[in-house]
Structure 1
Amino acid sequence: MYIITEQLKDSGFSINRLDLIIKRNNNNREFSTLDYFCIYIILEDIKLTVENVSYDIQAGNIAFVGPQKKVLFGKVKRYEIFVIAFSASFYERSTKDSLFINSQLFFNYDSDVFIAPFTNIEQMKVVFMERMESFQRKDKSLYISAAHNAIERLILDAFLHIPTEEIKKDFKFDYMYYVNRFKVILQRDYKRAKKVSYYANELNISARKLTEMTEYVLGKTAKHIIIEKLVNECKKALVFSNCTISEVSYELGFSNEGNFTNFIKKHTGKNPSELR
């Protein structure tokens, strides 16, 4: 189990080189983003796998990954990858901040990672490593302020690479906020909770309101999104796991193999064995 740094616990923010993060993780390259928002500054080529989908990311890019995601870092030569992690409570100081972290960058509806380029690698090292270290040594309050500003700069630069039609989806902030929180909770609890009412209760809204919001933002009912998530996770488990079908059904929270098989058959038209 990865041990969260004291810095992240204390302030809700941390920035570290990838090699230090891996060392802290007992040399395991696989992580969960937990409840944190993550930004990866890529200064050398790397294969990044998020939720079992691999991305070959070249040096000179930044990757944004939202909470409750499984991330696997490929091997690199120089470990010129910097990992920024921060909590919502650390970053959200205004409605604008909430809009930024609930945007397409961290909740991309087409992918679990958003990748945006930057132009000057040396400048990135100075701004986000050397300057941050200087602030950290000098004064904690200055360091926290600098960290917030650094994150905002990365987000604003990345916003230039979001298609205009996608940004327009974000204008109804309250709906967007609840839908994104729903997706985070779904990612966390899909194995044990499969009803709309559970997620609506977690969000302190009615099931009808949650469905209204998901239909507005995503064009799908909340029930459809839960089913879609379960189907995708079932397919991935059947393809990537060496477990038996019975074991996979248990792991994904189905009461028995028969219910699992019926669910797969209903929503894919195939038996589980045909998807392996």
Structure 2
Amino acid sequence: MAAAPKINTYHFLPYKYGSELLLDIGRIETLNHYVLDRTLHQLSFYEIIFIEKGAGTFTLDENKTSITPRTVIFTSPGQVRCWEIEQDVSGYVLFFEKDFLHLFFSDELFLYRFQYFHQYSRPNDMHLSEMPFVKCLELLYGIEGEFGQLQNDSNHLIRSLLYQLLVLLNRYYAGVYNVQRDTYVHPDFYRFRSLLEKKIADDQRVEAYTKMLNVSSGFLNKICKQFSGLSAQQMIHYKLISEIKKQLYQNKSAKEISYEFGFSDPSNFNRFFKKITGTTPQQYRKKI
């Protein structure tokens, strides 16, 4: 078996500007140490990429996005990524730690209110027409301008601009993919999404999550269908497949992956993967 590819992990630098600031912004073409090649890597924080010019592809987990002007790409912590650049890319990158918003809103589920983060059943990107993209750029200019003259209250102004941008992007994403656009839906749905991020390797049974949430399976299925179009079990399976694919990227054996995710044996793991994806783990590994 070939050696597993090394996946570098990049962490946020909170004291880049002196005092702690859990958000940063930069130009893709001038940002120091920004990875723009085929090297597999992942971030431990959130990032939104706004493409103004360029061509090529951006791969996030196994999903490839064509790089075209006015493309917006959303990445969540831990997703494996790489670039294949055909024409020089320019635009903005905005990245932040979850606490930049969580501490202000006193809501650990805040970022789950947006459809584009922690997404594993719909695209992690969208293409905007000119006017929506310009509106996004105007808010980015405001954030960039504040970084140019940081003051004691700058984090409050930057946070308010980021909040406007996230809500606006959520509206655009909902329009592009015809999904729930309101950032307020039933809180148990957000809690379920949050639990999937933390517990998927430990348990893949709907009953386990209904117990953690203290709700019935019928109620959980109802809110999942209402706000995602998927059943609770489908959401579990999509998340599980997403995590398994990350392990396949690193050339782990079927036996290792089976053990990590609680399958009784590798053959059951192989059957499950093929049932959901239409391909075997071995075929998927060859493809990537």
Could you tell me the TM-score, scaled by structure 1's length?
Answer: 0.68
Structure 1: give runs of 5+ residues left out of the alignment: none
Q: In structure 2, which of residues 145, 151, 154 is the aligned counterpart of residue 142 of structure 1?
A: 154
- Matching residue's letter, 2:21: S
CA spacing shift, 1:268–1:59, aligned 2, 3 Å: closer
How far is the alpha carbon of 1:88 from its aligned partner?
A: 4.6
- Matching residue's letter, 2:269: F
Q: In structure 1, which of residues 43, 50, 63 is the aligned counterpart of residue 60 of structure 2?
A: 50
- Matching residue's letter, 2:184: F
| Contact 2:65/2:125 (8 A) holds in 1 | no
| Contact 2:75/2:124 (8 A) holds in 1 | yes
Q: Which residue of 1 aligns with 2:254?
A: 245
Q: State the SS of the aligned residue for 1:80.
A: strand
Aligned-residue identity in percent: 19
| Contact 1:246/1:256 (8 A) holds in 2 | yes
* 1:152-191 equivalences in 2 (<5 Å): 152-153=164-165, 155-156=167-168, 159-160=171-172, 162-163=174-175, 166=178, 169-171=180-182, 173-175=184-186, 177-191=187-201
Q: State the SS of the aligned residue for 1:11.
A: coil
In 1, Cα distance between the equivalents of 2:28 and 2:122?
23
| Contact 2:26/2:92 (8 A) holds in 1 | yes
How far is the alpha carbon of 1:124 from its aligned partner?
A: 7.6
How far is the alpha carbon of 1:152 from its aligned partner?
A: 1.7
CA spacing shift, 1:107–1:267, aligned 2, 3 Å: closer
How far is the alpha carbon of 1:150 from its aligned partner?
A: 4.8
Give me the CA root mean square deviation: 4.6
Q: In structure 2, which of residues 103, 125, 144 is the aligned counterpart of residue 132 of structure 1?
A: 144
2:94 corresponds to 1:84:
yes
- Matching residue's letter, 2:153: S
In 2, Cα distance between the equivalents of 1:77 and 1:271?
34
Q: Which residue of 2 aligns with 1:12?
A: 22
Could you tell me the TM-score, scaled by structure 2's length?
Answer: 0.66
How far is the alpha carbon of 1:207 from its aligned partner?
A: 5.2
Q: Which residue of 2 aligns with 1:257?
A: 266
Q: Which residue of 2 aligns with 1:215?
A: 225
- Matching residue's letter, 2:231: T
More helix as a share of residues: 1
In 1, Cα distance between the equivalents of 2:32 and 2:211?
37
| Contact 1:104/1:166 (8 A) holds in 2 | no
| Contact 2:50/2:93 (8 A) holds in 1 | yes
CA spacing shift, 1:29–1:22, aligned 2, 3 Å: farther
In 2, Cα distance between the equivalents of 1:266 and 1:134?
50
| Contact 1:264/1:270 (8 A) holds in 2 | yes
